[in-house]
Chain A
Amino acid sequence: DAGITQSPRHKVTETGTPVTLRCHQTENHRYMYWYRQDPGHGLRLIHYSYGVKDTDKGEVSDGYSVSRSKTEDFLLTLESATSSQTSVYFCAISEAGSTDTQYFGPGTRLTVL
């Protein structure tokens, strides 16, 4: 298994509070991604990073921000959580770009009350 960890694995929070999810990799891969998974939607890309301090938006980026200050860490922040952000969040990594295999972390289940 690829060396990807996510923390926390489970979180319950209240509407309006900030939340930060962390993805950590030990593979030294250049690309990192954040997805959310909701029933009937598969996985949808939130943001991705193509290097330290280099990030770009995905298809569902509203309400989310990211940061990558080190190759191994990619943070996803919900500045003010809403109930619509209740979801399972997956981090993924790949060596190259969009045609390369992505390896997924175990996921973080976030509930916003």
Chain B
Amino acid sequence: AQSVTQLDSHVSVSEGTPVLLRCNYSSSYSPSLFWYVQHPNKGLQLLLKYTSAATLVKGINGFEAEFKKSETSFHLTKPSAHMSDAAEYFCVVSEAYTGRRALTFGSGTRLQVQP
């Protein structure tokens, strides 16, 4: 069975400082991993996706994530936070070979960006 744990429910950074949002996953098979972002009262938008090509994945808005199989981690980073990055971020896992089953979401990390 697949599962995902987001290690921090809230993260607060100052504008211009680095962002690190941590995610660990559990999967019996080769997983696909995603990060989605949700701004207040909005739907979810895909930030980036890992599907076993390169282990360092670049996404939109300067975000990137590194897949580390030995650590079962898929942490999201950004070198310099912007006020517009304030939102909730979800780490998501999906296994191959599970047929038609859909995604498993983490419980989310709320990112606050202080001026």
Q: Is B74 an interface residue (CB 8 A)?
A: no
Query: Shortest beta-carbon distance, A5 to chain B, in Å?
Result: 11
Residue interface mask A27-71, B partner, CB < 8 A = 1: 000010100000011111100101000001010000000000000
Quick check: A98 and B107 within 8 Å, CB to CB? no
| In the bound complex, CA of A107 to CA of B39 (Å) | 12
Q: Which of B36, B43, B51, B102 contacts A105 (CB 8 A)?
A: B43
What's the minimum C-beta distance from A99 to chain B, rounded to whole angstroms?
4
Judge whether A97 is part of the interface by a CB distance below 8 angstroms: yes
Q: Which of B46, B90, B105, B107 is the one whose CB lies under 8 Å from A101?
A: B46
Q: Known: A31-B100, A43-B105. Is A99-B32 also a contact (CB below 8 A)? A: yes
**CB nearest neighbor in A for B36:** A104
Q: Which residues of B contact A101 (CB under 8 A)?
A: 34, 46, 49
- Whether A74 is near chain B, meaning CB under 8 Å from some CB there, is no
A105 to B107, CA, bound (A): 19
Which residue of the partner chain, among B34, B49, B103, B108, contacts A45 with CB atoms under 8 Å? B103
Which residues of chain B from 32 to 53 have any CB-CB distance to chain A below 8 Å in the complex?
Answer: 32, 34, 36, 42-46, 49, 51
A106 within 8 A of B: yes
Contact A58 to B102, CB < 8 A, known contacts A43-B90, A99-B51, A99-B94: yes
**13 A-B pairs (CB sep. < 8 Å):** A33-B102, A42-B90, A42-B105, A43-B90, A43-B103, A48-B102, A58-B102, A97-B100, A98-B99, A99-B32, A99-B95, A101-B34, A102-B46
In the A-B complex, the 10 residue pairs with the smallest Cβ-Cβ separation, listed nearest first, are A42-B105, A99-B32, A104-B44, A104-B43, A43-B105, A98-B94, A106-B43, A42-B107, A50-B100, A45-B102
- Which residues of chain B have a CB within 8 Å of any CB of chain A? 9, 32, 34, 36, 42-46, 49, 51, 90, 94-96, 98-103, 105-108
**Residues of A that sit less than 8 Å from B by CB:** 31, 33, 40-45, 48, 50, 56, 58, 90, 92, 97-99, 101-107
